[in-house]
Amino acid sequence: MKLKTGEKLVMIGDSITDCGRSRPIGEGSGALGNGYVSLVDSLLGAVYPELKLKIVNVGTSGNTVRDLKARWTTDVIDLKPDWVSVMIGINDVWRQFDSPLQKERHVELEEYKETITNLVEQTQPNVTGMILMTPFYIEPNASDPMRAMMDRYSEVVRELALQRNTLFVDTQAAFNYLMEYSYPAAIAWDRVHPNQIGHLAIARAFVDAIGFAW
């Protein structure tokens, strides 16, 4: 297990992380929302109660990496975490497809890469470790335009995790496994916002990455 006794893990991202968490900070019983963050907290609390780990959810629905940059100081650095997990990129890609004419809302690949790289670089000296999670699209056809673009953004995260020696969670791979047996709409009605099966798949991939012993 990578996390040690009494450490604080701040988890930041978009609506997949948010999932109705409390404001201004999602921390404590009933405050973590109803998604993978709460499931991670439950698994760690049930299997490693002696570690007394503190999980904080600062996901915000609709966010892109541009939004994370704007609130990074208050929502990450000022919380003085030991660990930080980041899952961002779904809206960066999605807005290019559902709002194609609103160019000001688009976060192109180069901006995405530069921004997430800068956030990791500025944060690493102040924390024990970081966990980078890929964005995902629950679509089995890898040639689908949105899935293909999402995979390119995911590759940025994979390469960054390798370059900066962070932990890495391939959430797309977790959904690819589910899609071998389930139609995408049975996991997420819009292929983005997963049901509890999908959130548990994310949580499982996450705890595996941090050395959870099942």
Q: How far apart are CA 189 and CA 185, in angstroms?
A: 5
Whether 190 is catalytic is yes
Of 67, 170, 182, 193, the catalytic one is 193
The CA distance from 55 to 21, in Å, is 12
Q: Is 98 a catalytic residue?
A: no
Q: Is the peptide bond before 24 cis (omega within 30 degrees of 0)?
A: yes
Alpha-carbon distances of 55 from 106, 121, 149, rounded to whole Å: 31, 22, 31
Burial-class residue 4 by CB neighbours within 10 Å (0-12, 13-18, 19+): exposed
The active-site residue out of 98, 99, 190, 208 is: 190
Annotated catalytic residue, options 14, 15, 18, 151: 15
Residue 29 has φ and ψ, to the nearest 5°, of: -60, 125
Q: Is residue 170 flagged as an active site residue?
A: no
**Active-site amino acid positions:** 15, 190, 193
